[in-house]
Amino acid sequence: MTQPHILIAGGGIGGLALALSLHQLGVRCTVYEQVRALKPLGVGINIQPNAVRELFDLGLTPAQLDKIGVPAREWALVGQKGQEIYAEPRGTDAGYRWPQYAAHRGQLHMLLYQTLVDRAGPEAVQLGAKISGYSILPEGGVTATINHTDGSHSIVEGTLLIGADGIHSAVRAQMHPHQPPIHWGGALMWRGTSRAKPVRTGSSFVGLGDHRQRMVIYPISAPDADGFATINWIAEVTLDETEARKSGWYKPAQLSDFAHHFDGWTYDWLDVPALLRGASEIYENPMIDRDPV
């Protein structure tokens, strides 16, 4: 019997985690990713206890996760006037067997990539190679068309093709050509990180504001000797449905694009305008999604 070979379209967090799982099972796989070089893109991400359990089962360690983030201890909902509405413990403080991690998305991505390359070899991830389409073979299996960044094309054959190529998936578009368009969720989000002192427990996930404009704030690094950590923040504003819909991912943005929505958000425990001004980079992305297939 021929050794199975799984083709994976997309080298994001999903595609790399899948490849690590297949390698652990002894199933050969190759990830095809369109960018020429993977970089630690993005800002903060919360890894819930059930996902941390899977990372541990894949052989990642708490020490590795501690290098890219911090265990989250609390979720707190706070009103626009700074008053606490609700709070609860998170992760092991809430009784889970596994922690919840607040981490840097790009560093998590690179950790998964490096772990896969170390275990399966550099040939397991083909960069500069986008799967643009596929054909089902009559005798079983599949061929995939690869578009390379040098302009060339190639065909690879595999046992199975899995599309992990994101919201603009070419695999999904071919499989479901009449799928509805991307949903515009009615909100724009601006994301960034700033160096500041953590609030509340020192590792709290804080939601601040109301349904029209709100902030999410949490640390993604341990404090330094002066008590400062890398604080991830998301500034979100609900827009009228008549405003232009967006369909992109991360796009560089300026503080002047949105900071005025949060003027006056200054409390004895947090200065939001100062936090925003401290950002080294800011990205805009819309709240978008697709229907399940």
Domains in the chain: ranges and CATH: 5-48+103-175 (3.50.50.60), 183-289 (3.30.9.30)
Q: Are strands 183-196 and 213-219 parallel, antiparallel or unpaired?
A: unpaired
pLDDT of res. 240: 76
Strand-pairing partners, residue 129, are 148
> Residue 186 has which token pair?
């009615």
- Which tens digit of pLDDT belongs to each residue from 229-265? 999 999 999 987 655 556 666 789 999 999 999 999 9
Work out the number of other CB atoms within 10 angstroms of the CB of residue 182: 16
Do the Cβ atoms of 217 and 231 come closer than 8 Å? yes
**Parts of the chain with a pLDDT under 70:** 1, 241-249
pTM of structure: 0.94
CA distance 67 to 55: 14
| Short-list 224, 226, 228, CA closest to 199 | 228
CA distance 230 to 220: 6
pLDDT of res. 48: 97
pLDDT of res. 250: 73
| Short-list 28, 100, 59, 84, CA closest to 206 | 84
pLDDT of res. 1: 46
